């Protein structure tokens, strides 16, 4: 049975970035429920295709051919789940963010609005910057205008959030359902293709497994000890569940934080990985690189009050339970 409310057996769901980290988990989840899934992504020459190898797919489309594909098959598409993006927080070529994160998203928004197609897209906790304006997913224009992202990635996501809300406030055409999901620090399997941009959990897993020392950044903020920097670490299955919930509730639209609501330290994270592998923590600290030291986030914590009020009542994985599941999955797939 399809995961999409009011869909028929012939309906299609398009997942951009569908072979990537969060996208591939969404694809696998939808395919397992019997939905007909179309993946739009660049696979290149690596093993990224393995992320979706076990899914029954309706089609795979290059991103540069997506709108031509939609012109032929768009009448069967009931939802676009837009996870495709340049997600590097250290990328310095801002034009990449403009082309991939802003322009493509707005084009898809316009297409979904014109074709009465539901639209769910990935926003980011990076829109909150250093958190001085809080971590509440208030979608009022005033609240969004107060946010100050620390990098171009966060800025590109905020551009979309503000434009979408402006369309809604002005009463312009919108998709019948729309949602921007502000993912916090997501971890889980299927990150290998991201290289240095993998989550800390995925980075340190092979190191801990091999018995080596884990390297963490020193704190350059007197309010936090070394390794005491705090993040809201959210397991990827919880992100998938938020998308599944939205697809099952076509009346819910808006911007929503997706995080556990609990900030944990990097030392907690190392401890969780070591506990899952049955070893003692071995940590050494290095200076945070000077080039992004002034853009480093010391604290993130999702306010999920709005998400809960909208009806998402699924419990989030604790850090320990999520890491344990991640380590179990990594042990099974061997990468």
Q: Is 128 a catalytic residue?
A: no
Q: Is 182 a catalytic residue?
A: no
Helix axis angle, 152-169 to 104-114, nearest 10°: 20
Query: 93: helix, coil or strand?
Result: coil
Which stretches of the chain are assigned E, i.e. beta strand? 12-16, 36-40, 59-61, 77-82, 118-124, 178-183, 185-187, 214-217, 230-231, 233-235, 254-258, 264-265, 283-286
Catalytic residue among 58, 76, 96, 194: 194
Catalytic residue among 128, 153, 187, 317: 153
Hey, what are 215's tokens? Answer: 């390297």
Distance CA 82, CA 157 (A): 12
Buried b (16+ CB within 10 A) or exposed e, 298-310: eebbbebebbeeb
Shortest CA distance to 190 belongs to which of 181, 179, 201, 182? 201
Distance CA 238, CA 217 (A): 27
Distance CA 174, CA 165 (A): 10
DSSP 8-state class, residue 26 = H
58 and 31 Cβ atoms separated by less than 8 Å: no
Q: Which residues pair with 19 in a beta bridge?
A: none
Enumerate the active-site residues: 153, 194
């Amino acid at each position: 049975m399809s995961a999409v409310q009011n869909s028929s057996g012939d309906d299609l769901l398009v997942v951009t970035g569908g072979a990537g980290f969060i996208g591939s988990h969404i694809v696998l989840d939808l395919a397992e429920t019997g939905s007909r899934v179309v993946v739009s992504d660049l696979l290149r020459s690596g093993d990224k295709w393995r992320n979706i190898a076990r899914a029954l797919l309706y089609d795979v489309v290059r991103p540069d051919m997506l709108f031509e594909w939609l012109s032929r098959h768009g009448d069967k598409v009931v939802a676009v789940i837009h996870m495709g993006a340049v997600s590097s927080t250290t990328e310095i070529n801002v034009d990449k963010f403009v082309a991939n994160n802003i322009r493509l998203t707005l084009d898809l928004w316009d297409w979904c609005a014109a074709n009465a197609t539901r639209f769910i897209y990935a926003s980011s906790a990076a829109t909150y910057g250093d958190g001085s304006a809080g971590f509440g997913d208030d979608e009022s224009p005033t609240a969004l205008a107060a946010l100050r992202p620390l990098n171009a990635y966060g800025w590109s996501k905020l551009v979309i959030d503000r434009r979408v809300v402006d369309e809604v406030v002005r009463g312009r055409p919108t998709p019948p359902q729309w949602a921007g999901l502000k993912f916090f620090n997501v971890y889980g399997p299927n990150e290998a293709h991201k290289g240095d941009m993998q989550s800390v959990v995925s980075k340190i897993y092979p190191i801990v497994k091999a018995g080596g020392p884990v390297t963490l950044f020193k704190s350059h903020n007197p309010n936090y000890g070394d390794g005491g920097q705090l993040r809201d670490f959210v397991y990827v299955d919880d992100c998938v569940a938020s998308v599944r919930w939205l697809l099952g509730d076509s009346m819910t639209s808006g911007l929503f934080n997706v995080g556990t609501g609990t900030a944990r330290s990097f030392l907690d994270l190392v401890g969780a990985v070591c506990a899952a592998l049955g070893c003692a923590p071995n940590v050494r600290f290095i200076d945070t690189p000077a080039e992004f030291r002034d853009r480093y986030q010391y604290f993130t914590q999702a306010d999920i009050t709005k998400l809960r009020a909208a009806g998402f009542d699924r419990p989030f994985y604790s850090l320990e339970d999520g890491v344990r599941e991640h380590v179990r999955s990594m042990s099974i797939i061997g990468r």
